[in-house]
Amino acid sequence: MAEFLVKMADERGRVLEQTESASSESDLRDRFSKQGFYVYSVRSKGLFSNGIIGTPRRKKVKQGDFLVFNQQFFTLIHAGLPIPTALELLAKRQRNAFFRSVLENIRERVKSGEVLSSAFAAQGIFPQLYNTTLVAGEKSGALEEVLTRYISFQRVAMSVRKKLLVSLIPCAPH
């Protein structure tokens, strides 16, 4: 059995972090989810877990690709498509092979009964704010509204980031 560092919240919202043994990350997530905890993250403990020795870096999805995905996802569910169908269409259209495989995994999880927020959280590559946004949308029944707000946030964040990067580029001497 491997050791994992688990970060989770109880029903009152208190965040807990502890070390647990399990055969896999998904087994640990399932165990704590069934006990009523919201699992934020599960990370492997040990020499190879923190990138010191020859472990591949975790891939990420580009901000621009993620923004386009969210805009298209919002449009499809706003039009009345079921979430698994929308995820399937977006996965098929995705050019980035890594992001496509992530979307296919999310779709399979949702299709098998997992809630959307935990399917995204299980990937471990999306911002915690996004996962929390999905949870809020699911619990309030206003998924479209919270997606709209997150898309607006993404646009502002990307704009600020671009302006910051431009301001850091030194001017050429005249």
Band the pLDDT of 134: cuts 50, 70, 90: very high
Mean pLDDT, all residues of the chain? 86
- Reduce the DSSP state of residue 174 to 3 states and report it: coil
In a shared domain, residues 76 and 36 = no
pLDDT recorded at residue 110: 93
In a shared domain, residues 21 and 107 = no
In a shared domain, residues 37 and 83 = no
Q: Is residue 115 part of a domain?
A: yes
Q: Is residue 153 part of a domain?
A: yes
Residues 28-50: b if buried by 16+ CB within 10 A, e if exposed: bbeebeeeebbbbbbeeeeeeee
In a shared domain, residues 104 and 21 = no
In a shared domain, residues 72 and 28 = no
Please say whether the beta carbons of 113 and 132 come within 8 A.
no
In a shared domain, residues 78 and 147 = yes
Instruction: Report angle CA 156, 157, 160 to the nearest 5 degrees.
Output: 85
> pLDDT tens digit string along 99-111?
999 999 999 999 9
What are the tokens at 36? 């009523």
> How many distinct structural domains can be found in the chain?
2
In a shared domain, residues 85 and 10 = no
In a shared domain, residues 77 and 158 = yes
User: Where in the sequence is the domain holding 16, given as residue range(s)?
Assistant: 2-44
In a shared domain, residues 83 and 161 = yes
Q: Is residue 57 part of a domain?
A: no
What CATH code is carried by the domain that includes residue 89? 1.20.81.30
Q: Of 150, 166, 127, which is closest to residue 73 (Cα–Cα)? A: 150
**Which one-letter amino acid corresponds to residue 101?**
S
> pLDDT tens digit string along 21-38?
888 888 888 888 898 888
Residues 52-67: b if buried by 16+ CB within 10 A, e if exposed: eeeeeeeeebeeeebb
> pLDDT tens digit string along 34-85?
988 888 888 887 544 444 444 445 578 888 999 999 999 999 999 999 999 9
pLDDT recorded at residue 55: 41
Please say whether the beta carbons of 86 and 103 come within 8 A.
no
Band the pLDDT of 169: cuts 50, 70, 90: confident
pLDDT recorded at residue 112: 92
In a shared domain, residues 72 and 35 = no
pLDDT recorded at residue 46: 59
- Tell me the average pLDDT across 11-18: 82
Band the pLDDT of 129: cuts 50, 70, 90: very high
- Reduce the DSSP state of residue 7 to 3 states and report it: strand
Read out DSSP for 10-74?
-TT--EEEEEEEES-HHHHHHHHHHTT-EEEEEEE-STTTTTSSSPPPPP---HHHHHHHHHHHH
